[in-house]
Structure 1
Amino acid sequence: MNAVPDATPDPVPEPPVDPVSAIRAYWNAAAAAFDEEPDHGLLRERTRAGWARLMSSWLPRAPADVLDVGCGTGSLSLLLAEAGHRVTGVDLAPRMVERAEAKCAAAGRAARFLVGDAADPPTGRERYDVVLSRHLLWTLPDPGASLRAWVARLRPGGRLVLVEGRWRQAGQDGAPYVAGAGALPWDGGVTAADLAAAVRPLAARLHVEPLSGDPELWGGPVADERYALIAHV
């Protein structure tokens, strides 16, 4: 007698999750509400003025060529374009780039935006006077390699401007970041001491400016560590 076959099919294994696709999807979904955060949209005049003041103190005299990695919706790119700099912004999320392009176009300012991996920007052999990154390093799987890639895109005498901090991991509205984020080397941010240790071998000199004590930059008081690291290479 023939055996009766099992009518229950074997489960089909789910395809592995592509980390880059997951990260792109996360930030695409965040784009619509991204500018609601005071330090993202810079919609409050005092917040906008505070960041404009800082950028003026950290960057060389305009016009300089600036690469804004992880540019998001382009708020800092627009500030720099308004100051007379030549700006290239890079972001992995197409919807972020669309908003950055629209923001600069609405303001009548010229800036170039590229969709690509900010960890290794798709800028070919182009070189810049400044590479700017804000709140990006904690999302990267190999921040050390990214720092080296950014330094390689600087002209002699160029500078890294890294605005970072040590905070909770959660993203927009308290939603968790992508699956597996707990394995990121700098999940939840990076302290100024740790970032300085990573950058020091790449730089001729660097300094750190604490930013936690200026509530206007963040739309209110903050209790975590926030700072800027400026490195001359």
Structure 2
Amino acid sequence: MNKKKTPETRFYDKFVILFKFLLRSRMLKVILVIFILNVILGAFYSYLEGIEFHLGLYWATDTLTNTGTGLVPPNSPFLWYATTILMWIGLGITLIFVEYVYVNFWKKNMGKKMVNFENHIVLIGWSQKMRHFLDNLPGGLGVHHNYVLIANLQERPLDLPDIVILIRGDPEQEDVLINAGIKKAERALIVLGDDSAAVLIAMTIQSLNDEIKICVNLRHRENIKHLQRIGVEEIVCDEELTGDALIKAFYSLKK
């Protein structure tokens, strides 16, 4: 049974998840680099022009963003040339930024995305069982591990937590598993409705990463032996769970 979390623990979990989300954001990194570049150029310009720093910072932002207000114009030919060059550089940055937004937020081409995690957890298959797994993780989702879900879906499920990275594609394809970082993953959880697909995926994962820990959910008892032969450590069989639950329920009836 999971321990009830205190408000301080829940706040810490949320803080860690937010911190990881920010670290993964390429857009945030781009904005941070542009901001640092603005500060450096602004300081350099204010020094050469002998003006206050806030005016130099405004000039740098005005130039790199191609706003072109001209409220802080240079006073030397050298800085006029430098301003022109920086405008072209700013135009390139703007085009790259717009292209990134278009690719990631309009096309949403997540199927070809590749994660660069290490010691993370790869989840395969999207179902009510996987939802229950994510909702009831001890310690909180995303606090101690990074999670990557592989599912053959057209759109990202609305109830999939934002902290989970989605790789859209067929998990039976080796390149999809590689895109999910399976070679450097610590654990894999396979929850599918097709036992043969689950066994095949487990074999493929082991061929790509012989140190990974694999847990597989099966529907039928007769398929357990196939996973045992390849050394899968944890196997959860629906038939056995249902049978055990029936036995427990039957003998718990009051006489």
TM over 0.5: no
- Decide which structure has greater strand share: 1
- Higher RCO structure, 1 or 2 (CA under 8 Å, sep 6+): 1
TM-score bracket relative to the smaller structure: 0.3 to 0.5
- Name whichever structure is richer in helix by fraction: 2
